[in-house]
Amino acid sequence: MVAKIKKEKKKNEEKNEKSKIEKELFLEKKNAWELLENEKKEAFALAKEYKKFIDENKTEREIVRTVESMAKKNGYVNLKDATPTTKKIYATNHEKNILLVDLSGGNLKQGARIIGSHIDILRLDFKLNPIYESESFALINTHYYGGIKKYHWLNTPLSIHGVVFDKNGKKIEIVYGEEEEEAVFVISDLLPHLEGREGYDKPARNIIQGEEMDALAGSIPINDKKVKEKIKATFLKIMNEKYGITERDFVSAELALYPSMKARDVGIDGGLMGAPGHDDRVCSYLAVKTILESSNKKTKPAIVLLVDKEEIGSVGNTSMDSLFFENTLEKIIKLRKENTTAREVLENSKAISADVTSGSDPKYMDKMDPMNANKLGYGVAMEKYTGSGGKYHGSDANAEYVSWIRTMLEENNIPWQYGELGKVDQGGGGTIAYILAKYNMNIVDMGTPVLAMHSPFEIISKIDLLCTKKAYAAFFEKK
């Protein structure tokens, strides 16, 4: 009997053993948790730090302010105060962009290592005349920002973030709905009892229209018989008492509703993490953390650039398409009296477009190409090209640069993967890569895979978080 069992066991082992050809020639994808088994604590510690960052920073202004503070603590000097010998320089643009430049790796003329990422996330902007009263409620009239699924935002607790400039030009910052004792705002859904057949047959895009995405903001009438819109008056009175603003001030404001949710672990083992706006605060945070921590190992000038408006096509004076980056480099070159130009520096540079990509979801594999889908838990994801359909509006890195990136990752034993956003004709997406590529620099997309991208609660893997950080550090340090 024992002999029979041993024989059966040997037979099964031979059956499961890979052939020499498979070992040598086939691609084998491995789970990063297994490859980095001894670094689980580091992944969880990094995730804890990142949670704090995303819980406290939702708007571009909030992120820039926090990153500026982090930079100052690490010896960075505002460009306005820098001298020709200053090695660590930062500059901001309209409080919505920040550029970090570390020159400890040499002069700009030789080119730099650049990581660019966007810090705008999906939200519901206040309209210019946002507050009105209807039935027994005060409501906030909104205009959604970016590629959202509108029905995601129904019955989701929302908070107000932003700034208002009053009639005297005084800037007032507003954050309301994040603390436990504060109220939240909600776009109410229709009860299923009243949907009717036509309601259940609606396409998802028609469940709610943009003009219907108005959030409940109040319900108690003000105690003043002369006021016609009593509930609206209550809302405005409270805002005036708390922040000193009036209805006229909304025209010179940037206010928006964001999901009022804290980052939470997902899954009983805590290996996943959900939060609003991983796209693209995750890559932005890791890029900043990496440039601040690897100053003694950089082999070239290192640059991190955080930009706005990516979710609506990179337009405007705080987007990647603005000249802020190029103009600021010119100022630094002039300050240091280097014999070069910003465009020459950029042409000689290597770059990463640090942005998230889609992770494969077992429920929606009909939208993915299984052979070319990135997976949560399998490491940082590189995308050679973005775009949609026939690679329209995308950036396609050349093979030489992909080889350089591949070597960098494999030399440092960093778990990584590569794929596409989804099936060819399914859709697609782009990043800021194509804008930086116009300078003739080498650039490729690399970031953290995400489930439920563009929803109010996106999901990432903590081990991918660590792998992404390792990849960015290797990029700054590779000779």
Give the whole-angstrom CA distance, residue 229 versus residue 132: 8
Domains and CATH numbers, the chain: 33-121+276-477 (3.40.630.10), 123-259 (2.30.250.10)
- Per-residue pLDDT band for 332 (boundaries 50, 70, 90) equals very high
The length of the chain, given as a count of residues: 479
pLDDT beyond 80 at 9: no
How many CB atoms are located within 10 Å of the residue 454 CB?
18
Question: What is the per-residue pLDDT across 369-422, written as a single tens digit (0 to 9) for each?
Answer: 999 999 999 999 999 998 888 898 889 999 999 999 999 999 999 999 999 988
DSSP of 248-278, one letter per residue? GGGGGEEEEEEE----EEESTT--EEEETTH
**Residue 164, phi-psi category: left (phi > 0), alpha (psi -120 to 50), beta (remainder):** beta
Q: 20 pLDDT band (50/70/90 cuts)?
A: confident
DSSP bridge pairs for 98: 92, 306
Task: Extract the runs of DSSP E, i.e. beta strands, from 342-383.
Answer: 350-353, 357-358, 380-383
Q: How far apart are CA 223 and CA 62, in angstroms?
A: 37
For residue 166, whether the previous peptide bond is cis, meaning omega lies within 30 degrees of 0, is no
Instruction: State the maximum Cα–Cα separation within the chain, in Å, rounded to a whole number.
Output: 98
**Alpha-carbon gap, residue 141 to 125, rounded angstroms:** 9
Determine the angle formed by the axes of helices 40-56 and 462-477, rounding to 10 degrees: 90
Can you tell me the mean pLDDT for 459-469?
Answer: 98
Question: Where is 216: in which H helix or E strand?
Answer: strand 215-218
Least confident range of 192-196, 232-236, 334-338 = 192-196
Residue 78, strand partner residues: 90
Q: Which residues pair with 382 in a beta bridge?
A: 418, 446
Confidence of residue 296 (pLDDT cuts 50, 70, 90): confident
Q: Would you say residue 194 has pLDDT above 80?
A: yes
The answer on pLDDT for 153 being more than 90 is yes
Q: Which residue has the higher pLDDT, 39 or 199?
A: 39
Least confident of 28-32, 189-193, 334-338: 189-193
| Amino acid found at 103 | L
Q: Are strands 357-358 and 137-145 parallel, antiparallel or unpaired?
A: unpaired
Residue 61, C-beta contacts closer than 8 angstroms, at least 6 positions apart? 95, 96, 162, 163, 254
Instruction: Of 81, 112, 105, give the one whose Cα is nearest residue 335.
Output: 81
Strand pairing category for 428-429 and 387-388: antiparallel
**Confidence grade of residue 198 (pLDDT, cut at 50, 70, 90):** confident
At residue 27, the pLDDT reads: 86
Asked if residues 398 and 465 have their Cβ atoms less than 8 Å apart, the reply is no
Q: Please, what is the average pLDDT of the chain? A: 94
Confidence of residue 197 (pLDDT cuts 50, 70, 90): confident
Give tens-digit pLDDT for 412-457. Answer: 999 999 999 888 888 788 899 999 999 999 999 999 999 999 999 9
| Cross-strand bridge partners of residue 304 | 100, 115
Q: What is the CA radius of gyration of the chain?
A: 25
Compute φ and ψ for 385, nearest 5 degrees. -145, 155
Measured CA to CA, the distance from residue 473 to residue 463 in angstroms comes to 15
Q: Find out whether 231 and 133 touch, Cβ atoms under 8 Å.
A: yes
Q: What pLDDT, on a 0 to 100 scale, did the predictor assign at position 425?
A: 87
pLDDT at 57 over 70: yes
Asked which of 48-62, 89-103, 203-217 is least confident by mean pLDDT, the reply is 203-217
Q: At CA 147, angle to CA 146 and CA 152, rounded to 5?
A: 110
Model pLDDT, residue 342: 98
pLDDT for the residue numbered 5? 60
Per mean pLDDT, which range of 67-81, 290-304, 343-357 is the poorest? 290-304
Report, in this order, helix, strand and coil percent for the chain, each rounded to 5. 40, 25, 35
Specify whether the backbone of 392 is left (phi greater than 0), alpha (psi in -120 to 50) or beta: beta
Residue 3's pLDDT band (boundaries 50, 70, 90)?
Answer: low
The pLDDT of residue 430 is 85
CA distances from 99 to 144, 293, 307, 327 (A): 28, 16, 9, 11
Phi then psi for residue 162, to 5 deg, are 150, -165
Per residue in 87-138, pLDDT tens? Answer: 999 999 999 999 999 999 999 999 999 999 999 999 999 999 999 999 999 9
Q: Is 221 exposed, middle or buried (0-12, 13-18, 19+ CB in 10 A)?
A: middle
